[in-house]
Amino acid sequence: MNKFKINIQGMTCTGCEEHVAVVLENVGAKNIEASFRRGEAVFELPDNIGVESAKKAIDKAKYQPGEIEEIQSEEKMVLGDEGDYDLLIIGSGGAAFSAAIKSVEYGAKVAMIERGTVGGTCVNIGCVPSKTLLRAGEINHLAKVNPFIGLQTSAGEVKLAPLVKQKDELVSELRKQKYVNLIDEYGFDLIDGEAKFVDVNTVEVNGKKLSAKRFLIATGASPSLPPISGLEEVDYLTSTTLLELKKVPKRLTVIGSGYIGMELGQLFHNLGSEVTLMQRSERLLKEYDPEISEAIEKALIEQGINLVKGATFERVEQEGQIKKVHVTVDGKEKVVESEQLLVATGRRPNTDTLNLSAAGVEVGNRKEILINDYARTSNEKIYAAGDVTLGPQFVYVAAYEGGIVSDNAIGGLNKKLDLSVVPGVTFTNPSIATVGLTEEQAKEQGYEVKTSVLPLDAVPRAIVNRETTGVFKLVADANTLKVLGVHIVSENAGEVIYAATLAVKFGLTVEDLKESLAPYLTMAEGLKLAALTFDKDVSKLSCCAG
Ligand SMILES: Cc1cc2nc3c(=O)[nH]c(=O)nc-3n(C[C@H](O)[C@H](O)[C@H](O)COP(=O)(O)OP(=O)(O)OC[C@H]3O[C@@H](n4cnc5c(N)ncnc54)[C@H](O)[C@@H]3O)c2cc1C
């Protein structure tokens, strides 16, 4: 049998899927999966039937067949007959656990090797500790400053040590529930130690050699240091060590204002530090739509966070406890001093100690592991997933990729990674959430683009909250009005973006958004209002976008 995927235009419902399946069955196809949402059908044909006959039959049934791709079938693995393991995973974060659980469900014998703390970045030093402290920071900020008249609130000095202890307890509880306990629950081995390859089939850990039929590298990434003179000689902090501080610093400088720098900078501003965010680029979040950068910049400045953009970093030095960052901005020299300095300029893949050349695994110019559409590396027995590949650095992406690895490496399913629609959230306040294409990306991809930009002061939820700095931006294909991208700066933007993700993923149009009811006085109503903004002045609408 040969396996094919064919793109098909014109299927609009599950009835069409069934019709296409019958048509393909009639030419002799087996294991047919037609999807009107993805606009494709995947099926197998016996060797003696040409794929052109399938194409003709689809055409005759009044659908429009397009590109055909032959899918290389991988044999489903014979489990457990040789080697120490069916799947040996290096790392124990989101990618690793998702792959391990699914592989055990396939019946595979699995082991995981971890050199640090089980659970990896997200639960221990990333998502969980940062988000719980961000919430504490928000509450402290609201106690000090709120937009309502007549409320009498106040905030005392923040005692960081007990707050950090409470955070550590939560981390430890979630690590136990969501990671450690699952090891016995599912029944795989955890090996404590650092792994490195010794050849294409073998990994060494604690001096012991282990073989496996397949491997998954899920070793994540670590904070990277920018090449700034003197930086290595000062007591700088990373996202990990900042979250362990026991005292709120009087002043905090943050080098790098990507999502981690911005979140942690705002956290310490809310806890009482005077915060300066510094970056090389002239624009915050320069890869986002300009309206997003403008809105978040305005919000941060309104809150009293200092921004230094377009900085050339000359050197860093320390005098006593004070760290001094020397920069040139617009040709003028400037020195920013603070008690603590956070470096948040990106993350580098953890590949240095893996001895990848012994395994024939190729890396890119940032030492990230190169994978193909099936998450396979240049060694066909070795897969990689999560941050170590330098794809979108989110735990749900890592977990999704880990699941695909299991389907392909153990299940033999040849599933392609689909990262065409990945939502991203920055948990500042207001938060930033985006999905799909920016206006510039859509134009680069050849779309004729129509956009709508709705300032947050047109969204009723923001008006009643009395926090109106922000924006909703929709990017649509001007011809089909399909929603290509949604970009938001607002309170709870992260909660709104899931609906937008469904709209982009399943090809909803601006009309679909306009015609769907949106609950009044939710931030998500902004999506509908932004859709209406394409051809109406929303300031002239009555309540409920009627
Ligand atoms: C401050 C911060 C906040 C974040 N907030 C969010 C958020 O809100 N939402 C979100 O989706 N994502 C967030 N992220 C990103 C998210 O944490 C990562 O994308 C995700 O954890 C990556 O998972 P992973 O499985 O690829 O790797 P990791 O979870 O990093 O796991 C890799 C593991 O491999 C181990 N390892 C490395 N080399 C070896 C070796 N040679 N031998 C044995 N073990 C090895 C490491 O010790 C580590 O435990 C945040 C990250 C940070 C730093």
**DSSP symbols for 306-325:** EEE-SEEEEEEEEETTEEEE
Give mean pLDDT, residues 144-148.
94
| Residue at 79 is within a domain | no
How much is the CA Rg of the chain, to the nearest whole Å?
Answer: 26
Nearest protein CA to atom 5 of ligand 1, as residue: 127
Q: Which residue has the higher pLDDT, 18 or 72?
A: 18
Q: Amino acid identity of 199?
A: D
Is 258 known to sit in a ligand binding site?
A: yes
Question: 195: Cβ below 6 Å to ligand 1?
Answer: yes
Q: Answer whether 4's CB lies under 8 Å from 39's CB.
A: no
| Residue at 12 is within a domain | yes
What is the per-residue pLDDT for 301? 97
Q: Answer whether 127's CB lies under 8 Å from 420's CB.
A: no
Nearest protein CA to atom 33 of ligand 1, as residue: 91
State whether 299 and 361 are in the same domain. Answer: no
Name the band, by pLDDT with cuts 50, 70 and 90, for residue 81: low
| Helix or strand run (H / E) with residue 263 | helix 259-271
User: Number of C-alpha atoms within 13 angstroms, CB side, residue 232?
Assistant: 5
Q: Answer whether 383's CB lies under 8 Å from 90's CB.
A: no
| Helix or strand run (H / E) with residue 367 | none
Chain centroid, CA 45 distance in Å? 37
State whether 31 and 105 are in the same domain. Answer: no
> Which active-site residues does the annotation give?
11, 13, 16, 63, 122, 127, 543-544
- The tokens for 416 are 């392609």
State whether 283 and 398 are in the same domain. Answer: no
What is the per-residue pLDDT for 265? 98
**40 to 58, 311, 482: CA distances (angstroms):** 11, 49, 18
State whether 51 and 164 are in the same domain. Answer: no
Separation of CA 264 and ligand 1 centre (Å): 17
What is the per-residue pLDDT for 172? 98
Question: 238: Cβ below 6 Å to ligand 1?
Answer: no
From 71, 93, 113, give the residue that closes a domain: 71
| Cβ neighbours for 178, distance < 8 A, ≥ 6 positions apart | 119, 123
Calpha distance 105→476 (Å, rounded): 41
Residue 219: which CATH number? Answer: 3.50.50.60
Separation of CA 32 and ligand 1 centre (Å): 37
Angle, helices 395-409/94-105, rounded to nearest 10 degrees: 30
User: For residues 350-363, b (16+ Cβ closer than 10 Å) or e, as one string?
Assistant: bbeebbbeebebeb
Atom of ligand 1 nearest to the CA of 194: 42
User: What is the side-by-side strand order in the sheet with 431-436?
Assistant: 424-426, 431-436, 483-490, 471-477, 449-455
Q: Which of 373, 398, 374, 372 is nearest to 385 (CA)?
A: 398
Q: Answer whether 348's CB lies under 8 Å from 367's CB.
A: yes
Q: Is 346 helix (H, G, I), strand (E, B) or coil?
A: coil
| Residue at 414 is within a domain | no
**411 to 77, 94, 304, 379: CA distances (angstroms):** 7, 20, 53, 18
What is the per-residue pLDDT for 544? 64
Residues linked to residue 424 through DSSP beta bridges, in sequence order = 434
Calpha distance 124→223 (Å, rounded): 14
What is the per-residue pLDDT for 535? 81
Question: 391: Cβ below 6 Å to ligand 1?
Answer: no
| Helix or strand run (H / E) with residue 88 | strand 85-90
Calpha distance 103→212 (Å, rounded): 13
State whether 99 and 204 are in the same domain. Answer: yes
Separation of CA 497 and ligand 1 centre (Å): 23
Is 83 known to sit in a ligand binding site?
A: no
| Residue at 80 is within a domain | no
Separation of CA 116 and ligand 1 centre (Å): 11
Calpha distance 167→183 (Å, rounded): 24
Is 346 known to sit in a ligand binding site?
A: yes
What is the per-residue pLDDT for 538? 74
Name the band, by pLDDT with cuts 50, 70 and 90, for residue 545: low
From 42, 71, 100, give the residue that closes a domain: 71
Question: 387: Cβ below 6 Å to ligand 1?
Answer: yes
Name the band, by pLDDT with cuts 50, 70 and 90, for residue 152: very high
**49 to 29, 41, 43, 223, 237: CA distances (angstroms):** 9, 17, 12, 54, 63
Between vectors from CA 516 to CA 514 and to CA 519, what angle results, nearest 5°? 110
Number of folded domains that form the chain: 4
Residue 257 has pLDDT above 70, yes or no: yes
Quick: pLDDT tens for 414-429: 899 999 999 999 999 9
Q: Answer whether 451's CB lies under 8 Å from 457's CB.
A: no
| Residue at 125 is within a domain | yes
Q: Is 108 helix (H, G, I), strand (E, B) or coil?
A: coil
Q: Is 34 helix (H, G, I), strand (E, B) or coil?
A: strand
Residue 350 has pLDDT above 70, yes or no: yes
Question: 131: Cβ below 6 Å to ligand 1?
Answer: yes
Atom of ligand 1 nearest to the CA of 193: 43
Residue 522: which CATH number? Answer: 3.30.390.30
Separation of CA 337 and ligand 1 centre (Å): 31
State whether 366 and 514 are in the same domain. Answer: no
Question: How high does pLDDT run on average in the chain?
Answer: 94
Q: Amino acid identity of 212?
A: A
Nearest protein CA to atom 49 of ligand 1, as residue: 120
Residue 108 has pLDDT above 90, yes or no: yes
Quick: pLDDT tens for 224-247: 999 999 999 999 999 999 999 999
Instruction: Provide DSSP, 100-115.
Output: HHHHHHTT--EEEEES
State whether 96 and 151 are in the same domain. Answer: yes
Quick: pLDDT tens for 451-492: 999 999 999 999 999 999 999 999 999 999 999 999 999 999
| Residue at 212 is within a domain | yes
State whether 295 and 431 are in the same domain. Answer: no
Segments forming the whole domain that contains residue 30 = 2-71
In the chain, what are the helix, strand and coil shares in percent, each to the nearest 5?
A: 35, 25, 40
State whether 192 and 91 are in the same domain. Answer: yes
pTM of the model: 0.89
State whether 185 and 254 are in the same domain. Answer: no
- Residue matched to tokens 């998502």: 127
Name the band, by pLDDT with cuts 50, 70 and 90, for residue 75: low
Q: Which of 410, 135, 455, 133 is nearest to 291 (CA)?
A: 455
Q: Which of 468, 485, 482, 474 is nearest to 533 (CA)?
A: 474
From 315, 345, 375, give the residue that closes a domain: 345
Share of the chain above pLDDT 90, in %: 88
State whether 283 and 321 are in the same domain. Answer: yes
Instruction: Provide DSSP, 53-70.
Output: HHHHHHHHTT-EEEEEEE
CB atoms within 10 A of CB 128: 21
Is 387 known to sit in a ligand binding site?
A: yes
Indicate the range of 23-27, 69-73, 94-98, 416-420 predicted with least confidence.
69-73
- The tokens for 483 are 């929603």
| Residue at 76 is within a domain | no
| Residue at 457 is within a domain | yes
What is the per-residue pLDDT for 72? 66
Question: 430: Cβ below 6 Å to ligand 1?
Answer: no
Q: Which residue has the higher pLDDT, 25 or 539?
A: 25
Calpha distance 487→283 (Å, rounded): 17
State whether 53 and 95 are in the same domain. Answer: no
